[in-house]
Structure 1
Amino acid sequence: MTRRYLVQFACVIALFSALRETHAQNLAIREKPSFEQIEQVARRHFLAIRGFHEDQLLVESEVRDFLPQLRQLGWWSFPWRRVPRYSLSDDQFIVNLVYVRRPPVELPRCIATPEKVYNRMERLSYSPIGRILLLELVQRDDFYSAILEDPETLCAESDILSELDVVASVRELKLDEPTGHVYTLQQLVDSLRREYTTVN
């Protein structure tokens, strides 16, 4: 008799736990904000920062500071640890280049894809030769536009590297191959959209 009661009691507890878990999941799904709300909050947050432009380089600390707003909005299933890693850490070479040597400015309107500029900058930073090129280019008024030039032109215009046979080394950096990093606000919004559709 006692055993039967214990089995029944265990079944009741299991059923209660399952119902509670289902209720919690349904509640999370029901309370999950629309992506339009998420995008609106993201754009409002970053564009409220003084001097921030759509094409400005984002860094990991800025993304981490923003993410708690998603929880406040009701997106509880958000992958908090994964997304900030898509951004550049604050101490990386090109972050220092952009924020210290050349304070954030709006990129020229002729550059339709600022993320391509930052992607090329990061790939150049992978080698000593690329870093030399970046340190030279950052002194130019057309710094961001110059980054988009082909390796031959980049090397030919370098005061230090023009006499050296380094074009092949620069080509090996595969400047236009995506690094997988998030550089701009639009890219952050796009990555949030991907997470939104894949995370329950």
Structure 2
Amino acid sequence: MFRRHLLQFGCAIALFSALADADAQNLAIREKPSFDQVEQVARRHFLSIRGFNEDQLLVESEVREFLPQLRQLGWWTFPWRRIPRHSLADNQFIVNLVYVRRPPVQLASRIASPERVYNRMERLSYSPIGRILLLELVQREDFYTAILEDPETLCAESDILSELDVVDAIKQLRLDEPTGRVYTLQQLVDSLRQEYFAVN
């Protein structure tokens, strides 16, 4: 008798939990904001930051600081831990180059291909030779365009690397192969869009 009551009690708890989960999911689906709202909140948040430029390099801490706004908006099914991992950690080499170095790299009002620039920066940072090249490039006023040059030109214009046979080493870094990172606000919006419709 006792075992039967215990079993019935356990079944009741399981049923209640299942119903509660279903209600929570249904509520999340009903209250889920439109993606236009999500994009507006994202752009409003970052563009309201003093001095923020749309082509600016985003870092992990900035993305983590923003994400709770999506929950406040009603997007409960958002994968909170996955998106920030696609951004650069605050202590990574190229983040230090852009934000910590004195004087910092001056960001132009608009960059022709910001995602490609940051992608190349990260790939160059993978090797000591690439880091040497980056440290030289950041001294140039045309840094954000110079970094888009081909490896031969990059090495030929380097005071240090022009004397060394390192073009192949730079080519092996595959500068234009996507890293899968989220570098800019537009990439963050695109990533949010992908997640939004993936769980719809």
Structure 1 segments unaligned to the other structure (5+ residues): none
Shift of residue 163, structure 1, vs aligned partner: 1.4
Give the match for residue 72 of structure 1. 72
Shift of residue 75, structure 1, vs aligned partner: 1.1
CA spacing shift, 1:191–1:3, aligned 2, 3 Å: same
Answer whether contact 1:87 1:183 (CA < 8 A) is retained: yes
1:76 maps to amino acid: W
Q: Distance in 2 between matches of 1:95 and 1:30?
A: 40
Greater alpha carbon shift after TM alignment, 72-81 vs 47-56? 72-81
Give the secondary-structure state (helix, strand or coil) at the position aligned to 2:36: helix
TM-score by length of 1: 0.90
Give the match for residue 175 of structure 2. 175
Give the match for residue 108 of structure 2. 107
CA spacing shift, 1:21–1:142, aligned 2, 3 Å: same
Identity %: 80
2:108 maps to amino acid: L
The Cα RMSD (Å) is 2.1
CA spacing shift, 1:162–1:182, aligned 2, 3 Å: same
Shift of residue 106, structure 1, vs aligned partner: 3.8
Q: Distance in 1 between matches of 2:8 and 2:58?
A: 57
Give the match for residue 33 of structure 2. 33
Shift of residue 159, structure 1, vs aligned partner: 0.4
The alignment covers a number of residue pairs equal to 199
TM-score by length of 2: 0.90
Please list the CA deviations of residues 68-90 of structure 1 after superposition, one character each: whole Å capped at 9, or x if unmatched: 11111111111111111100001
1:136 maps to amino acid: E
Q: Distance in 2 between matches of 1:25 and 1:36?
A: 21
CA spacing shift, 1:57–1:5, aligned 2, 3 Å: closer
Give the match for residue 196 of structure 2. 196
Shift of residue 197, structure 1, vs aligned partner: 1.4
Shift of residue 22, structure 1, vs aligned partner: 2.1
Give the match for residue 147 of structure 1. 147
